[in-house]
Amino acid sequence: MKYDDNNIFAKILRGEIPCKKIYEDDFVLSFYDISPQKKIHALVIPKGKYIDLDDFNSNASNEEIIGLMKGVTTVAKKLGISSIDGKGYRALANISDDGGQEVPHLHFHLFGGEKVGKMVS
């Protein structure tokens, strides 16, 4: 499958569609999910064009992979939900159709701000 340059997160990255930005650096952009499923629902996306986690882990540079992983924790800290601050959250990536992925640009959901339960429904 080829990366779709017209997916909504590609448009957000290009600044064509607004987002409620939480954090940005050379590797990631983070913003609030438009339809929050928990008290805090943030998204963290890589700046590179990767469809999903398997595409990313197969094709991204080590620098990009480290950048995304560190980005998740940086955002959690910024939101005050990291375990370092004595809190917690769920990081979740849906992968392809069977995984329930709707937007074909890799993203981690960060759910927190409350007990998120065993699974996200």
Which are the catalytic amino acids?
107
Least distance between ligand AMP and beta carbon 41 (Å): 7
Specify whether the CB–CB gap between 111 and 41 falls below 8 A.
Answer: yes
x/- contact string, 50-89, with ligand AMP (CB under 6 A)? ----------------------------------------
Which one of 44-52, 56-64, 69-77, 95-103 is the stretch in contact with ligand AMP (CB under 6 A)? 95-103
Least distance between ligand AMP and beta carbon 106 (Å): 9
Distance CA 74, CA 56 (A): 19
Q: What is the dihedral of CA 55, 60, 65, 71, to 10 degrees?
A: -80
Tell me which of 7, 69, 101, 113 binds ligand AMP, using CB under 6 A: 101
Least distance between ligand AMP and beta carbon 21 (Å): 11
Name the strand (E) or helix (H) holding 48.
none
Measured from the CB atom, is 69 or 103 closer to ligand AMP? 103
In the chain, at which residue ranges do the beta strands (DSSP E only) sit?
21-24, 28-32, 40-46, 89-92, 108-112
Binding of residue 95 to ligand AMP (CB under 6 A)? no
Rg (CA), the chain: 14
Q: Is 120 helix (H, G, I), strand (E, B) or coil?
A: coil
**Sites of contact with ligand AMP (CB under 6 A):** 8, 17, 19, 31, 33-35, 43, 94, 100-103
